Structure 1
C-alpha cells in the first residue's frame, strides 16, 4: 500500500469506513439517510455502525447479503452493564440482522484492577455472536496509561476479539496515534488474525492517512484491508467525497496535502 496522493488515500479510506450514527437524537429517517450515504458514486463504505434499536430497520433497507455490513454497539458507551444483559443485547442484535458487534469492555473495572472482568465479558459476547465480527472497544482515552492500553489489547485478543477498537467517540479523548501504535504492536506480537479500528476524531483524509501509514509501518505492506482495518467515523465521509470529487477542503490542505 503506497498512498501517493490524497485521492488514493480517500478511495482507500472509503473502503475501510464504518459510517457511524450513534447520536442520541438518531431516528429511522437518519438511518435511512445513513444507508444511502454509505453507497457512494465512488464505492461503498465497509459498514454502517448504529444503535441496536435500529438494526432491524437498517436490515430491511439494505436487505440480506448487502455489501454494506451492519455493525452495532453493545455495553455502550458506559461499559458497565451486567454480562447477562450484554449477552442478551448481543443476541437480539444478531437476530435483528447485525453482521458485526462493537463491544465496550468494562473499562472502569479494568482501571480498578479487575482484569478478569474484561476476559469474562469478551468471552461471553464472543460466544453469543460466533458468526459475527467482534470489535472490542478499549476506551483508550479513559485508560490513559499506555501500559493499560497494552494490557487491555492483550486481554481482548486472548478472549476472542476479531478487532480491537480505540474508543466509543463519547469521551473527551478518543483515537490517538499513540494508542494506535500500542494496539497495533500488540496485534503484531500476538500473531493472531486481529484487526484494528481507530474511532472518534478521525474526520479528514489527512487524519486517516496518518493511521494508514502507521499501520503499514507496524504491520507491513498489504496487511490493511476491510477484514483487518476499519475507521469509525461520522464526518470522515464528507471529506473523502470532497477529495474524490476534487473539491479538497481547507482542512485537508492544512493536513499537508
Structure 2
C-alpha cells in the first residue's frame, strides 16, 4: 500500500484526542479547528465528559457529519471507587457519549486481584450495553507482558468492545510488543473485540507499524474502525500531510 493509502486507513481509525484537565472552551475550539472539512473525518473525537455537548454543537455547525463522541472514566489513574466510576459512566451516557474508555484498575491486578477489575468492566458494560461502545484501557506500559495478556483477557471476559493499550499519561504507553500480545489474546478469545493503540503514536511511520502488525495478526479484512483505533492528537497533522 502507498503512504497515502495507509494515511487514509489510519485517519479512518483515528480517535482524535484531547484530555487536558486544565482546558477551557477556547482550548477545545482550537483543538477542533485542526479538523478539515476537505478531508475525511476521524472515527471519533475523545474528550472529557464536560466537553461532549460543546464538541457536538461545534461539529454540527462546521461539518456535514459528526464522528462518534468518546470520553473517559476512571481516568487516568484507574483507582477511583467503582460507584464513582459508574456515576461517571451514567453522566457520560446522558451527555450523549457514543464510546466510553474505562481505565481498568490495573494496580489491583498487579497486586493479584483479578475479580475487582473484572467487576469494573462488567458493571460498566451493563450500563453501556446498547448505548455506547466500551473500550477498556489496561495501561499496558505499566504491566509485564504476561500481565498484559491477563488484563486483555479480563477486559474481554467483562464484555469490552475494544481493549486499549494506554492512557497516554504514564512513562511508557503503546508498544508494538504489548499490542502484539493483545491481538493474540483477542484472536484466541474468538470474540468480536477491537484494539485501540494509544499514547506515543505521532507519525504515519509509527502508525504504519501498528497497521502492519494488525494485518499480520488478524488479516487485512479485520482492520476497520469497528476493530481498530489509534488514540492520538499529534498524528492528525502527519496524516493530513500524507494525504
Match of 2:179 in 1: 180
Structure 1: give runs of 5+ residues left out of the alignment. Answer: 245-257
User: 2:60 touches 2:66 (CA, 8 Å); kept in 1?
Assistant: no
1:62 is matched with 59
* Change in 2 beyond 3 A, CA 1:38/1:195: farther
CA distance, structure 1, for counterparts of residue 193 and residue 80 of structure 2: 25
- How many Å separate the matches in 2 of 1:206 and 1:40? 24
- Provide Cα deviations, 1:3-42, integer angstroms capped at 9, x if missing partner: x211111111111100011123322222233334344422
1:23-172 superposed matches below 5 A: 23-63=20-60, 66-130=65-129, 131-143=131-143, 145-172=144-171
Partner of 1:251: none
Task: Give the TM-score normalised by structure 2.
Answer: 0.95
Aligned to 1:233: 232
**In 2: Cα distance, 1:192 partner to 1:48 partner:** 25
Q: CA deviation at 1:59?
A: 2.3
C-alpha contact 1:19 1:34 (8 A) present in aligned 2: no
Contact 1:167–1:175 under 8 Å retained in 2: yes
In the alignment, what sits opposite 1:6? Answer: 3
1:59–1:96 contact (8 Å) kept in structure 2? no
What residue is the counterpart of 1:207 in the other structure? Answer: 206
Unaligned runs of 5+ in 2: none
Does 2:43 align with 1:22? no
SS of match in other structure, 2:228: coil
